[in-house]
């Protein structure tokens, strides 16, 4: 008897998901191709700045658990939240019993990450993965995985201990809440505890700067990328007339990201050079608003 | 024999007035919902003794009806479960607290499971799939098909046929 193809209630994408649930992923490239297809996003595969990483490095390291504790320091609009959402989705779908708690610097920030996840679950192809519907701040999957969204507060960091913790826009966190939050994840059901932190570094001497300074000591791997690493491929532009030439130096011709070059140029024109440097190029944090902008420990402290 | 020494009349819906029939079913529903006889009496504006008679007659009638008409009882049970699902969903819409919403949703799910089991037990529902089975036939088991599909979708994204998420 001929088998109907696909079965009623199925789509090719739901079959693709089930195939990978059964067989896993053979290589990082296969995982990235799958993510690009299912999520409809473009994931930069290579960084263009020499000392930077790319988003794909983070996604594969996080999913295959090469690095359990990670800090993603990236530019505004650089895909940190989307990357975090994607990794959370992959963990929930492909790792049975994986519980994730997402804490945002604000309610809006938490919802932004959850929004990416929820949008995917609303797709008909993935409805079969859900237990009930995706609620406003909570989703449960038939793999036994759960995703819960919370706003960073002293109450929310106490309670159950899932394996995965995602801290989004940490520069907006209170120090004490951050410290308490680090105690949330604990290993269970064969899944190791991990903490992933995402933020720009836009405050001088802020929490993100502290996290980066202490990352090595605390066992966090830093993934850093700037606007140039996520720029779309540059074709047919005249470098000598380009406003981004100063920082780009023609490197965008090798880029494979999603950030529109025109948008980057507009942003650069709109903001001050210190904001552009800290928020988009991931240089040192902006010192705007500080009383002693030029203060330097080495120079001014005897 | 009753108090007057006459043989007891068999209970029949025809012998009970319409308003009392209505009150009997209301009293039965309230009793099922967990209210005490005193509370039901207060709610329906009659004496506790009257409610005691109503409940006794109600139980008897239900027994007679279920013996006589099984279909009617099944309909009643289905209607009851459907009403509870509706009520739980309505509560989920009205609650403001997320936890309460979640609780109401779960309650609705529990009632739905009960309804499905009941309908399966009574033979009204032959089979309900527990989950969509995708293991029987999956074209991605064929590596060639897998690669061609992924390549095709990649070309579609590059051409802008598949909209990329922003």
**A7, A129, A140, best to mutate vs chain B, most B CBs in 10 Å:** A7
| Contact indicator for B115, B78 with CB cutoff of 8 Å | yes
B137 and A5: CB-CB below 8 Å? yes
Q: Does A132 contact B163 at a Cβ distance shorter than 8 Å?
A: no
Closest to A10 (Cβ–Cβ): which among B102, B132, B150? B132
Spatial distance between the Cα atoms of B74 and A165, rounded to a whole number of angstroms: 49
Highest-pLDDT range among A166-170, B63-67, B126-130: A166-170
| Tokens (6 digits) for B72 | 């009617």
pLDDT tops 50 at residue B151: yes
pLDDT in tens, A23-75: 999 999 999 999 998 888 889 998 888 889 999 999 999 999 988 999 999 99
CA B38, B44, B49, B53 torsion: positive or negative? negative
| The predicted structure's pLDDT at residue A224 | 92
Least confident segment among A153-167, A257-271, B79-93, B113-127: B113-127
**What is the per-residue pLDDT across B2-42, written as a single tens digit (0 to 9) for each?**
455 555 556 677 778 888 989 998 998 898 888 899 999 99
- Give the angle subtended at the CA of A244 by the CAs of A243 and A250, to the nearest 5°: 125
Pick the range with the lowest mean pLDDT from A1-15, A177-191, B106-120: A1-15
- Sign of the alpha-carbon dihedral angle for B17, B19, B22, B23: negative
Indicate which of B132, B141, B146, B162 best probes the interface with A, i.e. most A CBs within 10 Å of its own CB: B132
pLDDT higher than threshold 90 for residue A207:
no
Cβ distance A17 to A126 under 8 Å? yes
Residue B108: band (very low, low, confident or very high) from pLDDT cuts 50, 70, 90: confident
Say which residue the tokens 């909209």 belong to: B163
Are B136 and A10 a contacting pair at CB < 8 A?
no
Residue pair A118/A45 in contact (Cβ under 8 Å)? The answer is no
pLDDT of residue A175: 86
CA A281 to CA A77: how far, in whole Å?
Answer: 12
Residues in chain B with CB shorter than 8 Å from the CB of A149 are none
Highest-confidence range of A20-24, A293-297, B151-155, B157-161, by mean pLDDT? A20-24
B164 interfaces chain A, CB cutoff of 8 Å: yes
Whether pTM exceeds 0.80: no
Average pLDDT over residues A144-150: 89
**A15–B contact, CB cutoff 8 A:** yes
A182-191, A226-235, A293-302 — which is least confidently predicted?
A: A293-302
**A297 and B CB contact within 8 Å:** no
* pLDDT at position A114 over 90: no
| Sign of the CA dihedral running B1, B3, B4, B9 | negative
Q: What is the pLDDT of residue B114?
A: 86
Of B98, B134, B150, the CB nearest to A37: B150
Whether residue B1 has pLDDT greater than 50? no
pLDDT at A2: 45
In chain A the domains, ranked by start, together with CATH numbers, are 12-227 (3.40.50.300)
pLDDT band at A150 (very low <50, low <70, confident <90, very high): confident
Interchain contact, B105 vs A3, CB within 8 Å = no
């Amino acid at each position: 008897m001929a088998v109907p193809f696909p079965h009623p209630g199925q789509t090719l994408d739901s079959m693709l998901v089930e195939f990978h649930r059964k067989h896993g992923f053979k290589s990082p490239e296969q995982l990235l191709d799958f993510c690009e297809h299912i999520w409809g996003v473009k994931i930069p595969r290579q960084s263009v700045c020499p000392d930077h990483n790319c988003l794909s490095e983070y996604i594969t390291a996080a999913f295959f658990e090469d690095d359990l504790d990670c800090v993603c320091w990236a530019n505004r609009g650089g895909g940190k939240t989307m990357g975090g959402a994607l990794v959370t989705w992959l963990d929930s779908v492909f790792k049975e019993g994986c519980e994730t708690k997402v804490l945002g610097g604000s309610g809006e920030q938490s919802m932004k990450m959850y929004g990416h996840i929820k949008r995917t679950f609303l797709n008909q192809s993935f409805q079969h993965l859900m237990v009930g519907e995706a609620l406003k701040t909570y989703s449960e999957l038939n793999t036994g995985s759960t995703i819960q969204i919370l706003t960073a507060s002293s109450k929310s960091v106490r309670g159950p201990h899932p394996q995965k913790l995602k801290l989004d826009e940490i520069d907006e966190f209170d120090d004490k809440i951050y410290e308490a939050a680090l105690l949330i994840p604990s290993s269970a059901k064969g899944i190791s505890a991990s903490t992933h932190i995402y933020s720009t570094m836009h405050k001088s001497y802020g929490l993100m700067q502290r996290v980066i300074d202490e990352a090595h000591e605390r066992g966090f791997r830093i993934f850093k990328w700037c606007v140039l690493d996520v720029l779309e491929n540059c074709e047919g532009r005249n470098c000598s007339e380009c406003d981004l030439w100063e920082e780009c130096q023609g490197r965008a011709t090798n880029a494979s990201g999603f950030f529109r070059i025109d948008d980057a140029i507009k942003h650069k024109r709109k903001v001050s050079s210190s904001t552009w440097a800290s928020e988009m190029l991931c240089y040192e944090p902006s010192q705007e608003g500080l009383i002693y902008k030029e203060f330097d420990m080495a120079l001014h402290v005897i | 024999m009753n108090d007057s020494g006459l043989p007891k009349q068999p209970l029949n819906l025809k012998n009970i007035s319409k308003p009392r029939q209505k009150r009997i079913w209301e009293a039965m529903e309230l009793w099922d919902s967990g209210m005490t006889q005193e509370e039901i009496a207060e709610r329906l504006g009659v004496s506790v003794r009257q409610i005691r008679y109503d409940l006794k007659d109600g139980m008897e009638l239900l027994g007679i009806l279920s013996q006589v008409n099984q279909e009617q009882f099944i309909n009643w049970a289905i209607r009851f479960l459907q009403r509870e699902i509706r009520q739980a969903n309505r509560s989920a819409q009205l609650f403001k607290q997320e936890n309460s919403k979640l609780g109401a949703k779960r309650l609705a799910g529990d009632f739905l499971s009960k309804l499905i089991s009941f309908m399966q037990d009574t033979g009204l529902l032959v089979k309900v799939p527990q989950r969509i089975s995708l293991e029987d036939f999956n074209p991605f088991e064929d590596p060639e098909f897998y690669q061609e599909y992924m390549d095709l979708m990649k070309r579609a994204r590059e051409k802008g046929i598949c909209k990329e998420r922003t």
